[in-house]
């Protein structure tokens, strides 16, 4: 028992350090483009559940999953938060805590898989130190939030299958249903888990043993899934089956007809090349994490064909078959169904934990192969990568969301002119902070190429500063004192060189404020 507790300590320590840092920095992150809408989805569902308001049933986006948005709204209402700054700071704090908790559950998962706290610590760092996802864990409740719950479900799935207790299988069903209430793509995880339960039933029948426990497990999993899905997703309460498949149809072919920048060219979101996700994934995941994942994929495939039964029976290795399915099936589905994804690969962030776990398969093989003091090579090399990433994240705080690895050029303004950079506008908070701090004027007039990021980030400023900002339409820019841009939709340089404030990451400008006239 003492050894087990000691094995948990590194993960708990890493979690507490990350929690301390997060709780002292969460207020630095701005509000993302969609965060206002995510909160609105939660409010509409809250009013439906607790006030009988039927707006949800006619709302155009009522089919959005609110597994996380509804609890966030409940916290907001029950804590009597009324000022927008307090509301969004609470959201950022809560979502980051969830993300860190999921990384801790990832640590426990790797520890159970390999019985080694060094490898488990490496796994925790790989979950935590993907800079883009780290930043999104504060202001992206849908993609990063879904990733967190998905990882928690994967961790519990391994535990439930290893113990094979009916009560745990039921809880696994609850977690799978709850995950699906956040993003309907989690339904595939439920299908995979159900498939493994079916394999266990067939194995019992083949051995001519009592099939009743295996059948009970299947029933408990399905029951838990349906129960949690129904409770956590009020949109299903009126017509569960119809509304579920309607939501699936809407989300699998979401209608957003626009263009996104990649490799210097604008591509239509309705006709993205198959390479869109692979390209983004390759240049935004830290290189060593990328190499480990690719090596893990090769080793899992190799070992599967050597001994398929070891990956189909209820063994440790079967978990890695699940991770392969959870990584490749969503990616292939997006490519083959031409589902719309955009900005970077945020819609598929939830496949990242599976990729890390596959990578840990390779790291474990390497660790076993090395003997004696040579084993230190593994934690040292991964530690160096972790230190490099921490250095990037500290230097570029709070703009970690624009991280690119060494596989793409970091030349002056290259990233800004060739890729979607700070596409969600969270950096507008820093621009507004600068203006309200440095200007003594009672009213600060600004224009920008998009109003939404300014309007959103005004909500996280102190109330006295919000009143000082006046937004002027671009068509009336002559009335503005400042022009603010994050270069979305306009990666080229602007003619003015009168820069009041700017922030760069990897030599590319993330946010810029141009002074148009004197106060």
Task: Using the predicted structure, report yes or no on whether residue 171 has a pLDDT greater than 90.
Answer: yes
For the segment 178-189, the average pLDDT, to the nearest whole number, is 96
CA 6-163-106 angle, 5° bins? 50
Residue 381 shares a structural domain with residue 301 = yes
257 pLDDT band (50/70/90 cuts)?
confident
Q: How many domains does the chain have?
A: 2
> Cα 492 to the chain's mean position, in Å?
29
Residues 352 and 291 in one domain: yes
Confidence of residue 243 (pLDDT cuts 50, 70, 90): very high
Please give the residue that has the higher pLDDT: either 478 or 376. 376
Half-sphere exposure of residue 314: CA atoms within 13 angstroms, side-chain side: 21
Nearest to 14, CA basis, from 122, 144, 165: 122
pLDDT of residue 5: 73
DSSP 264: T
Cα gap 216→368, rounded to integer Å: 38
Write a three-state SS string for 159-192: HHHHHCCHHHHHHHHHHHHHHHHHCHHHHHHHHH
For the whole model, what pTM was predicted?
Answer: 0.96
Q: Is residue 494 predicted with pLDDT exceeding 80?
A: yes
501 and 438 co-located in one domain: yes
Strands 469-471 and 444-448: parallel
pLDDT of residue 467: 93
Report yes or no: 189 and 156 within 8 Å, Cβ to Cβ: no
pLDDT of residue 252 exceeding 90: no
Distance from C-alpha of 141 to C-alpha of 183, rounded to nearest angstrom:
11
- What mean pLDDT is predicted for residues 453-475? 94
**Is 54 a member of any domain?**
yes
Kindly state whether residues 429 and 379 are assigned to the same domain.
no
Quote the mean pLDDT of the chain.
94
Same domain, 464 and 508: yes
Q: Render the burial of 291-306: b for 16+ CB within 10 Å, e for the rest.
A: ebbebbbebbeebbee
Q: Which domain holds residue 112?
A: 2-393
Please report how many Cα atoms fall inside a 13 Å half-sphere around the Cα of residue 453, on the Cβ side: 27
The two structure tokens encoding residue 427:
């950096």
Rg (C-alpha) for the chain, rounded Å, is: 24
Mean pLDDT computed over 339-350: 89
Q: Measured between alpha carbons, how far is residue 187 from residues 175, 194, 330 in Å?
A: 11, 10, 11
| Per-residue pLDDT tens digits for 196-212 | 999 999 999 998 888 99
How many Å apart are CA 392 and CA 385, to the nearest integer? 11
Residues 155-181, mean pLDDT to the nearest whole number: 97
The answer on 262 and 195 residing in a single domain is yes
In a domain, 163, yes or no: yes
Q: Domain ends where: 393, 426, 449?
A: 393
Q: Of 393, 409, 430, which one is at a domain's C-terminal end?
A: 393
Q: Is residue 23 in some structural domain?
A: yes
* DSSP reduced 3-state for 491: coil
Same domain, 33 and 178: yes
Residue 254 pLDDT:
67
Q: Are residue 438 and residue 387 in the same domain, yes or no?
A: no
Within a domain: residue 402? no
412 located within any domain: no
Structural domain contains residue 407: no
Percentage, residues of the chain above pLDDT 70: 98
Half-sphere exposure of 311 (CA within 13 A, CB side): 16
Give the length of the chain: 519
* % residues pLDDT > 90 (the chain): 88
The domain boundary residue, chosen from 393, 408, 433? 393
The residue behind tokens 């900005």 is: 343
Task: Please give the pLDDT value at position 269.
Answer: 82
**Mean pLDDT for the stretch of residues 33-49:** 96
Nearest-angstrom CA–CA distance, 447 and 477: 6
Under DSSP, the state recorded for 419 is B
Reduce the DSSP state of residue 123 to 3 states and report it.
Answer: helix
pLDDT at 519: 56
Following DSSP, what letter does each residue of 302-326 receive, concatenated?
HHHHH-THHHHSSSHHHHHHHHHHH
Q: What is the pLDDT of residue 258?
A: 79
Predicted confidence (pLDDT) at residue 265 exceeds the cutoff of 70: yes
pLDDT digits (tens, 9 = 90+) for 60-79: 989 999 999 999 999 999 99
What is the band of 295 on the pLDDT scale with cuts at 50, 70, 90? very high
Q: Would the pLDDT of 2 be above 70?
A: no
Residue 410 lies in a domain: no
Pairing of strands 265-268, 499-505: unpaired
Q: What is the mean pLDDT of residues 401-410?
A: 97
pLDDT score for 255: 67
Q: Are residues 434 and 498 part of one domain? A: yes
């Amino acid at each position: 028992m003492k050894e087990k507790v000691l094995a948990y300590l590194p993960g708990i320590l890493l979690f507490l350090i990350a929690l301390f840092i997060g709780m002292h920095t969460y207020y630095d992150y701005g509000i993302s483009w969609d965060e206002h809408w995510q909160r609105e989805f939660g409010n509409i569902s809250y009013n439906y559940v607790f006030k009988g308001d039927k707006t949800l049933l006619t709302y155009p986006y009522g089919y959005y999953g609110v597994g996380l948005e509804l609890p966030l709204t409940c916290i907001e209402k029950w804590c009597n938060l009324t000022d927008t700054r307090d509301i969004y700071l609470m959201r950022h704090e809560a979502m980051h805590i969830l993300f860190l908790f999921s990384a801790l559950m990832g640590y426990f998962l790797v520890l159970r898989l390999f019985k080694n706290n060094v490898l488990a610590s490496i796994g925790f760092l790989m979950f935590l130190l993907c800079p883009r996802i780290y930043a999104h864990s504060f202001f992206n409740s849908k993609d990063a939030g879904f990733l967190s719950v998905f990882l928690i479900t994967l961790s519990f799935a391994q535990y439930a299958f290893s113990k094979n207790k009916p009560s745990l299988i039921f809880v696994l069903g609850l977690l799978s249903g709850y995950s699906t209430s956040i993003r309907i793509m989690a339904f595939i995880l439920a299908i995979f888990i159900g498939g493994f339960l079916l394999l266990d039933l067939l194995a019992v029948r083949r051995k001519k043993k009592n099939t009743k426990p295996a059948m009970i497990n299947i029933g408990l999993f399905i029951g838990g899934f349906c129960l949690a899905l129904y409770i956590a997703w009020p949109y299903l309460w009126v017509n569960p089956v119809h509304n579920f498949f309607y939501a699936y149809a809407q989300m699998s072919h979401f209608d957003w007809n626009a263009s996104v920048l990649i490799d210097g060219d604008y591509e239509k979101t309705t006709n993205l090349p198959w390479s869109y996700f692979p390209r983004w994934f390759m240049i935004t995941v830290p290189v060593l994490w990328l190499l480990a994942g690719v090596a893990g994929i090769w080793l899992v495939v190799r070992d599967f064909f050597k001994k398929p039964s070891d990956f189909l029976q209820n063994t440790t290795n079967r978990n890695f078959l699940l991770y392969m399915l959870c990584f490749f099936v969503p990616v292939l589905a997006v490519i083959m169904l031409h589902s719309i994804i955009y900005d970077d690969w945020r819609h598929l962030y939830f496949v990242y934990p599976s990729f890390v776990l596959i990578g840990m398969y390779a790291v474990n093989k390497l660790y076993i192969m090395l003997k004696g003091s040579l084993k230190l090579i593994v934690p040292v090399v991964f530690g160096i990568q972790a230190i490099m990433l921490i250095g990037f994240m500290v230097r570029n705080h709070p703009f970690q969301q624009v991280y690119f690895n060494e596989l793409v050029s970091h030349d002056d303004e290259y990233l800004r002119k060739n890729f979607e950079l700070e596409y969600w506008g969270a950096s507008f908070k820093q621009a507004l902070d600068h203006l309200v701090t440095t200007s003594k004027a009672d009213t600060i007039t600004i224009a920008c190429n998009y109003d939404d990021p300014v309007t959103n980030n005004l909500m996280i400023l102190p109330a006295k500063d919000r009143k000082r900002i006046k937004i002027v339409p671009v068509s009336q820019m002559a009335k503005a004192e400042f022009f603010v841009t994050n270069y979305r939709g306009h990666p080229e340089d602007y003619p003015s060189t009168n820069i009041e404030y700017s922030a760069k990451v990897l030599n590319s400008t993330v946010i810029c404020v141009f002074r148009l006239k004197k106060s």
